Amino acid sequence: MFCSDSPNPRDPRAYADAARLAYARSGVVGPENAWYPDEQCAGWPSAAGQDRYAGPWNRPTASPILLIGNTGDPRTSYQDSVAMSRNLARARLLTVDGYGHTEFDNPSTCATTYEIRYFLAGALPRAGTICQQDAAPFPPPPRL
């Protein structure tokens, strides 16, 4: 659950301050992240986040991690995906050359194939693999 992943302010007014700061740092996309889903966590017990894992992130895992990063993700920069793949002990980055927050928002048959192989057999794509999205993120309107 998201609310147990991090400490969250108990005072709902703190989210207005966070939204102003987010706007100053990120423009119009920032405030949404301050209010949703965070603000709903104000009512959670303060102890809810005590069991969250806060690192270190470079510990070897039992299985390798498949990490997918879109080059045009408006919320999670591709550079952050690259950095995360380097910070995790056993991760492989699959690059999707396209737009959208997560590969699920604008699917790629290529990436989906690698995801299925990973979930069924633990198989990872070769290092440096790049997949294309199946469709443009903003297709032209249909002709009437």
Q: How far is residue 21's CA from residue 27's CA, in Å, rounded to a whole number?
A: 9
Same domain for 45 and 69, yes or no, is no
What pLDDT, in 10s, does the model give residues 66-102?
999 999 888 788 999 999 999 999 999 999 999 888 7
Same domain for 39 and 94, yes or no, is no
> What is the number of domains present in the chain?
2
3 is a domain residue = no
Parent domain of 28: 12-49
56 is a domain residue = no
137 is a domain residue = no
138 is a domain residue = no
Report pLDDT for 129: 98
2 is a domain residue = no
Contacts of 120 (CB under 8 A, 6+ apart): none
Same domain for 91 and 115, yes or no, is yes
23 is a domain residue = yes
144 is a domain residue = no
Same domain for 127 and 69, yes or no, is yes
55 is a domain residue = no
Classify the C-alpha dihedral 11-12-17-19 as positive or negative. positive
Report pLDDT for 86: 95
Report pLDDT for 36: 67
Classify the C-alpha dihedral 94-95-98-102 as positive or negative. positive
pLDDT in tens for each of the 144 residues of the chain?
467 776 777 787 888 888 888 888 877 777 777 776 667 777 777 677 677 777 888 998 899 999 999 998 887 889 999 999 999 999 999 999 998 887 777 789 999 999 999 999 999 999 999 999 998 777 788 888
